[in-house]
A and B are shown apart, each in its own frame.
Chain A
């Protein structure tokens, strides 16, 4: 049992390591290990996760933005803020976050080769698939505000993780309010 836990820890470290060291070629690993999959009747390796697991891309948000320039790390600069929060069951951007979205929009207009992913998220309450839809609305609200300012469609990638990727674990309002969010994730050029 202890040995297995060690192995598990190793698996996590190994996966994390690829995320840190490897670039985006991990897809081949996914395909490769899928061939190793075996049936569900096979006790120890059943399905072996079908390779779906080890896509090193995991651990989202790898903080690429902080390498783009000092303004992304200056707490007084809105570019240092890359999370937009929402009210319960709402995808309406609150006024507090408009300067943050505008700052990123202006940066993207000035840097037309820069791409971002807007990751929409919800708190844990309610139906998981409904939350996927709600998270997408939150990401798209941010996207449409950016587009109005001239950010091109090709610079914006939208994905919703619904309630599946909480920023904070916990089941009270203090955790929920941190999980109802859209993350602005800068992608390596």
Chain B
């Protein structure tokens, strides 16, 4: 048995190494027509192990807000401000341009600098110089993308962020993984031949709650990413599902069916006290908190089909929010609380829709047919969701106005239930 156990662990290790190289590829399917022309001139570099300007270019292109200039069309590739001939770049139709350098600063250390120019005003509008270890150069590049994006759009960038999701390969091995927002650097949080579901980031981004069926019954675990340590927080008879952190990180909303039908509960993570929030005889599930923590939205079929309801996080009267369509589910708020994203189903077509919380008007953003598990990026400008093309599951992001879509494609198997780190 001991030998056998050792063989299993060895085998699992091999499998994890494989998994950690399974990267997500990105393709842009729909861009903004009025995208702003922007040139990222390849950075001057003596020995950078990472193509920093290439990462910045890919980030900003993926955002859909910019029309990136082709490297081959650049007549010159200046890396110092004094070498820029702005007239030439005006002639090439560029509104903005970025130049930079990555210079070695001792073993494994680099100084990275960049400058953003308004080509027509011939003036610098942003400039930074920063130190970075070789290992952090991708992170530094994403940070530069965030700075440029915010300067030019007024919205916070999310390129430096991380995402969590669940993969399932052809052998039905399930993994909870986290990766950079561009799909690089995927890391396995948990793996199981039984289903893993519903990864949810703690508000500080340090922990992930998820559902595991590893003991052939549902349980909710909270795992600390840095150490891999985990704690089981719910394993009641029946459903233990849909964990959602309160904005202050002290409580977890979840679905339990221990008393019969699935209901929404709030679990105090320090006292372990459990409070029942919804009490219908029907299905109540998929709780998510409003950003101020005052209320919880959830899905219920008490009216005959799944619709979105809202209730105070201290309990009380439950109010129905959605009235159009016969399938509304998986609702969650934008971080400013102004918008609620959800899945809207119509026969065989499941699409991502957004409700304006002030007017309650609903705008459908995607075309389906199998779009699910939407969540807002921290900047509120993008919505991440899971989609399917034939048998291939992948992640997609759509802008809040529905005008821009980008896909994250897993090379091998399915990828579902994405969420952006806070």
Contact = CB atoms under 8 A, between A and B. Distances in A.
29 contacts: A8-B15, A11-B8, A11-B12, A33-B5, A39-B225, A40-B178, A43-B20, A47-B189, A48-B13, A52-B191, A54-B8, A54-B193, A55-B216, A117-B216, A125-B350, A126-B306, A126-B327, A127-B372, A128-B197, A128-B372, A130-B285, A132-B242, A133-B239, A134-B283, A136-B239, A159-B217, A160-B218, A164-B195, A171-B391
A38 B228 contact: yes
Interface string A1-31: 0001101101110110010000000010110
A53 B192 CA distance: 3
Interface string B192-215: 111111100000000000001111
A133 B189 CA distance: 25
B189 A132 contact: no
A164 B212 CA distance: 11
Q: Give the dominant DSSP class at B's interface.
A: mixed
Given A40-B226, A44-B17, A58 B193 contact: yes
B14 A55 contact: no
B329 to A, nearest CB: 4
A44 B20 contact: yes
Contacts of B9: 33, 36, 54
A7 B18 contact: yes
Given A8-B15, A11-B15, A52-B196, A169 B391 contact: yes
A29 B12 CA distance: 12
Interface of A: 4-5, 7-8, 10-12, 14-15, 18, 27, 29-30, 32-34, 36-41, 43-50, 52-55, 57-60, 89, 117, 124-130, 132-134, 136-137, 158-162, 164-165, 169-171
Contacts of B17: 4, 7, 44
A189 B193 CA distance: 24
A29 B283 contact: no
A34 B370 CA distance: 35
B167 interface: no
B283 A30 contact: no
A29 B5 contact: yes
B262 A53 contact: no
B286 interface: yes
By Cβ-Cβ distance, the 8 closest A-B pairs, closest first, are A7-B14, A49-B191, A164-B195, A37-B228, A11-B11, A4-B18, A58-B193, A127-B329
B270 interface: no
A130 to B, nearest CB: 5
A34 B227 CA distance: 12
Given A38-B228, A48-B228, A53-B173, A18 B214 contact: no
Contacts of B286: 127, 129-130
B8 A18 contact: yes
A164 B213 contact: yes
A49 B215 contact: no
Given A29-B5, A36-B9, A44-B20, A49 B391 contact: no
A21 to B, nearest CB: 9
A5 B238 contact: no
Nearest to B305: A89
Contacts of B242: 129, 132
A82 B141 CA distance: 56
A161 B227 contact: no
B129 interface: no
Interface string B355-373: 0000000000000001011
A43 B188 CA distance: 10
Nearest to A16: B193
Contacts of A158: 238
Nearest to B226: A39
Contact of B345 (A12, A126, A133): A126
A59 B188 CA distance: 22
B282 to A, nearest CB: 9
A133 B283 contact: yes
B345 A129 contact: no
A132 B285 contact: yes
B189 A129 contact: no
